[in-house]
């Protein structure tokens, strides 16, 4: 009697684990499908896109080092 109850409990845990695994798998597939069609790197739809960076003509070693130190200190 005790072995049958133990076997039944093991089967219940196995079915619960399998059900949760299948549910998680299909949730991941659904999330992947949602973001698969999301094109982050497409060209802007508006013609009024603005360039947000500028190139400096006289980039010296000191200026470059100051920018690198600023980046490491502030993370920007």
CB 45 within 8 A of CB 51: no
pLDDT at 68: 84
Of residues 12 and 57, the one with the higher pLDDT is 12
In the chain, the percentage of residues whose pLDDT exceeds 70 is 75
The yes-or-no verdict on residue 21 having pLDDT over 90 is yes
Read off the pTM.
0.48
The yes-or-no verdict on residue 2 having pLDDT over 90 is yes
The rounded distance, in Å, linking the Cα atoms of 23 and 18 is: 9
pLDDT tens for each residue of 22-50: 999 999 999 998 888 777 777 767 666 66
């Amino acid at each position: 009697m005790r072995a049958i109850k133990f076997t039944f409990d093991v089967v219940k845990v196995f079915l619960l684990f399998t059900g949760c695994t299948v549910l998680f798998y299909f949730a991941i597939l659904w999330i992947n499908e949602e973001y698969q069609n999301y094109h982050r790197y497409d060209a802007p739809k508006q013609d009024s896109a603005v360039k947000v960076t500028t190139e400096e003509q006289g980039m010296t070693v000191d200026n470059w080092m100051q920018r690198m130190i600023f980046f490491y200190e502030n993370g920007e």
